[in-house]
Chains A and B, each alone.
Chain A
Amino acid sequence: MSESLVVPTMAEMLAEGKQPEVLFWVGCAGSFDDRAKKITKAFVRILNRTNVSFAVLGTEESCTGDPAKRAGNEFLFQMQAMMNIEVLNAYEAKKIVTACPHCFNTLKNEYPELGGQYDVIHHTEFLKSLIDDGRLTVEGGQFKGKRITFHDPCYLGRANKVYEAPRDLIQKLDVELVEMKRSKANGLCCGAGGAQMFKDAEPGNKEINVERTEDALETKPDIIAAGCPFCNTMLTDGIKHQEKEGQVKVMDIAELIANAQDL
């Protein structure tokens, strides 16, 4: 933990006349949210350890526009998209990895039509490919034998049909992967999507994150694994609501991998 992170920016790379293997799109949550910043740093530690050549946009990155689009503000979305595309295209970005399924979905599916065509992958897919290529080896470490359940983020799972990469990674940790009663295509939303993260819920008889946390707790897990900073927040709040923060932790898959290797 003591060694400092090496995080080159695209501008620095360009100045040196280099093109990184992959552009790491950090996203707003990953940049500003205290909990999500830990995920960002865990992912960077893995990238540093495996000597992946990467760069971030840093202060040149801006919101993808996902929450604006889902809230119905297509103008703001397209303004954001066009600005980001100009920046990305100026750096000739080809491959983008992100730890946020919302950024992932927007960059991958909604930018091409507006002139931004990149090979976009989620960080769980990227980590999986590092393992498959022999660049990263993973052992269970402190997680060996633990019960872990995985919550499918809607924008990774249903929206883009990525179900296996996160599960494959969890299984590399020598743990017991337990499925919730609703998982994969049937997974229940954490309650944050569609711009709900930024508003109060409509009147009802329960919060969605509490409902989903109950699904997770039914599996009697030691850890709830997430692959999205927003799901992470919602489930962490759900655990607090159930007063289980002493027993159950919510962790991103990047954190699991990094911590297992004592990175």
Chain B
Amino acid sequence: MSYLDNILFAILLIVGFGFFASSVKKIIRNINLGVDVNRKDNSKARWKNMALIALGQSKMVRRPVAGILHIFVYVGFVIINIELLEIIIDGLFGTHRVFAPYLGVVYDVLIASFEILAILVIFAVIVFWIRRNVIRLKRFINPDLNGFPKSDANYILYFETVLMLLFLLMNASDLHLQNVPGGFSHFHKAGSFPISQFIAPMFNGMSNELVALLFEVFWWVHIAGILVFMNYLYFSKHLHILLAFPNTYFANLNPEGQFDNLESVTKEVKLMMDPNADPFAAAPVDENAVSSKFGASDVQDLNWVQLLNAYTCTECGRCTSSCPANQTGKKLSPRKIMMDTRDRLTEVGKNIDANKGVFVPDNKTLLNDYITPEELWACTSCNACVEECPVNISPLSIIMDMRRYLVMEQSAAPMSLNAMMTNIENNGAPWQYNQQDRLNWKNEN
């Protein structure tokens, strides 16, 4: 008996997982380029969020059609991955359905449910494809997705369909061989095949050897396809299948209306308001102090959760479709904020890789080269995008950090906002009214 197959398979696995591990390492490295933010508190609430929102898909079903179809695909992939374990063991040791003898009738139920899920996945994926390419829902033909993102979405759908078809074809050829009178090779009877029993007749009339060869082909293409798909994630919006879990865990737990108070500003304001502070004193020398800038102009100024958000975004566009600015024709698209952040982060990561681990300034920033002030100023901070995101991404927090940079580092607010701020500074109201007149309403009719 030749072990060539098994060795080849082992090599394939090692290469597949090896590449994947190096991609994961890069993603983690890039996310850690962000500044620190404490999201390790209140782990109970965080686990609960992850269980409900990522595992339980609770926010997906706000849009029922897409939500339910997505659950088919999601459950399909999670459950069918259990079968992958058996496929891998069979491949490594040359066995055939190694779990069957241990599980008995449970095994039949499992295989049958995998098959039903597989057909549901195919159904859902076809509907998804139609929504994108035939019905052309607005959020899927939005210019944000021009170029690779549009193809990326379709590639994922093709991949999933092919993988599910291969899974069913594999089972069908297996079933055909299991039913050969007197048995054939090691294809002993195991499993129940509610879907592929209808595909199996297509092998009638072929020689057993040919069907066994086809089975081998389906098996190899299927497992190789999965490994390729896994490695494709790094380049794709499909990363959400992994990152949705940490992303919902580390997401903001405060009320949506609560924006963070910049600590560096608090220190300065307290100093300014301290009557005992010496205004001419030299700033205390702190060897470890990093000259902090206010707000964000590039990805390194954002916090690591915002960068994790960017990798997690699957570009579904629910945020953009609920954004009041976007609905009324403004340039702002919360989805584009996330996509730009990821694109810039990828670019910065490549720069670091090319320069032996150090970022060499490239005269580009997230602000202006990717996201324009016009987009940032169109936001009403209404939180519709945050509320809508099925995995608790906050495009709003990035918009706000970039506005802070524009205003506090560049004094680049729109004229009318500068006037509003001057009024607050001078008379404690956004309009030009005297603070002494604040109670005049009491005596007016």
A contact residues vs B (CB 8 Å cutoff): 4-5, 7, 9, 26, 28, 30-33, 37, 40-41, 56, 58-59, 61-63, 65, 67-76, 78-80, 82-83, 105, 109-110, 113-114, 154-155, 158-161, 185-186, 188-189, 191-208, 211-212
Given contacts A37-B441, A41-B441, A71-B407, contact A160 B429 (CB under 8 A): no
Is the CB–CB distance between B261 and A199 below 8 Å? no
A80 & B428 in contact (Cβ 8 Å cutoff):
yes
Contacting residues, chain B, for A79 (C-beta < 8 A): 269, 272-273, 425
Instruction: Give every chain B residue within 8 A of A160 (Cβ-Cβ).
Output: 255-257
B439 touches A31 (CB 8 A): yes
Q: A63-B429, A160-B255, A188-B327 are in contact. List 12 more A-B contacts (CB 8 A).
A: A31-B438, A31-B440, A32-B433, A63-B430, A71-B417, A72-B408, A74-B261, A74-B294, A75-B265, A186-B322, A199-B417, A206-B329
Q: List 14 A-B contacts (CB under 8 A).
A: A26-B441, A33-B431, A76-B425, A78-B265, A78-B266, A154-B380, A160-B255, A188-B382, A188-B384, A189-B382, A191-B380, A203-B330, A204-B330, A206-B329
- The distance from the CB of A156 to the nearest CB of chain B, in whole angstroms, is 9
Partner of B330, one of A114, A195, A201: A201
Known: A109-B254, A158-B382. A211 touches B327 (CB 8 A): yes
Would A205 and B382 be within 8 Å (CB), given that A72-B295, A105-B258, A159-B257 are in contact?
A: no
Q: Does any Cβ of A come within 8 Å of B325's Cβ?
A: yes
> What B residues does A159 contact at CB under 8 A?
255-258, 383
Closest residue of chain B to A70, judged by CB?
A: B381
Tell which of A4, A110, A154 touches B261, judged by Cβ atoms closer than 8 Å: A110
Residues of chain B contacted by A61 (CB below 8 angstroms): 428, 438
User: What's the Cα separation between A61 and B427 when bound, in Å?
Assistant: 11
Contacts of A82 in B (CB 8 A): 269-270, 273
Q: Are B403 and A201 in contact (CB under 8 A)?
A: no
What residues on B are CB-neighbors of A37 within 8 Å? 441, 444
Smallest Cβ distance from B310 to chain A, in angstroms?
A: 20
Asked if B438 and A58 sit within 8 Å, CB to CB, the answer is yes
Contact A198 B416 (CB under 8 A): yes
Alpha-carbon distance A11/B183, docked complex (angstroms): 97
A189 contacts B324, C-beta separation under 8 Å: yes
4 A-B pairs closest in CB distance: A159-B257, A194-B381, A72-B403, A205-B329
- Bound-state CA distance A67–B429 (Å) is 10
- In whole angstroms, what is the CA distance A82 to B260 when docked? 15
Decide: B328 and A206 in contact? CB cutoff 8 A.
yes
**Contact at A161–B429, with CB atoms within 8 Å?**
no
- Contact flags B355-386 to A (C-beta < 8 A → 1, else 0): 00000000000000000001001111111101
A75-B438 in contact given A28-B431, A68-B424, A208-B324 (Cβ < 8 Å): no
Q: How far is the CB of B427 from chain A (nearest CB, A)?
A: 9
For chain B, the bracket of interface size reads 35 or more
Q: Is the CB of A7 within 8 A of B439?
A: yes
Say whether B331 faces chain A, with CB atoms less than 8 Å apart. Answer: yes
Residues of A within 8 A of B387 (CB): 158, 185-186
**Contact yes or no, A155 B329, CB < 8 A:** no
Chain B contacts with A in 396-445, Cβ cutoff 8 A = 400, 403-408, 413-414, 416-417, 419-421, 424-425, 428-431, 433, 435-444
Distance from A104 Cβ to chain B, minimum over Cβ atoms (Å): 9
* B102 contacts A by Cβ under 8 Å: no
- Of all chain A residues, which has the CB nearest B265? A74
In the bound assembly, the distance between CA atoms of A254 and B73 in angstroms comes to: 49
A188 to B294, CA, bound (A): 31
Beta-carbon contacts of B248-260 to A below 8 Å, as 1s and 0s? 0000001111110
Q: How far is the CA of A14 from the CA of B429 in the complex (A)?
A: 25
- Residues of chain B touching chain A, judged by Cβ–Cβ distance below 8 Å, are 254-259, 261-262, 265-266, 268-270, 272-273, 294-295, 322, 324-325, 327-332, 374, 377-384, 386-387, 400, 403-408, 413-414, 416-417, 419-421, 424-425, 428-431, 433, 435-444
**Bound CA span A244–B416, Å:** 29
Cα–Cα distance between A5 and B403 once the two chains are bound (Å) = 42
A158 touches B384 (CB 8 A): yes
Give complex CA distance A74, B413 in Å.
13
What is the CA–CA distance of A230 and B407 in the complex, to the nearest angstrom?
23
Report yes or no: A158 in contact with B256, Cβ–Cβ below 8 A: yes
Closest partner residue, chain B, to A104 (CB atom): B257
Contact B439–A58 (Cβ < 8 Å): yes
B404 touches A202 (CB 8 A): no
Contact A114 B261 (CB under 8 A): yes
Q: Which residues of A contact B374 (CB under 8 A)?
A: 202-203
Most chain A CB inside 10 Å of its own CB: which residue of B325, B328, B435 = B328
How far is the CB of A113 from the nearest CB of chain B, in Å?
Answer: 5
Determine the distance from Cα of A188 to Cα of B321 in the docked complex, in whole angstroms: 11
> B295 contacts A195, CB within 8 Å?
no
What residues on B are CB-neighbors of A71 within 8 Å? 403, 407, 413, 417, 420-421
Contacts of B443 in A (CB 8 A): 4
For the complex formed, measure the closest distance between the CB of A68 and the CB atoms of chain B, giving whole angstroms: 6
CB distance from A42 to the nearest CB of B (A): 11
B404 x A59 contact (CB < 8 A): no
Asked whether, in the complex, the Cβ of A69 is within 8 Å of the Cβ of B380, the reply is no
Instruction: Please state if A75 and B269 are interface contacts (CB–CB under 8 Å).
Output: yes
Shortest Cβ distance from residue A35 to the other chain B in the assembled complex, whole angstroms: 12
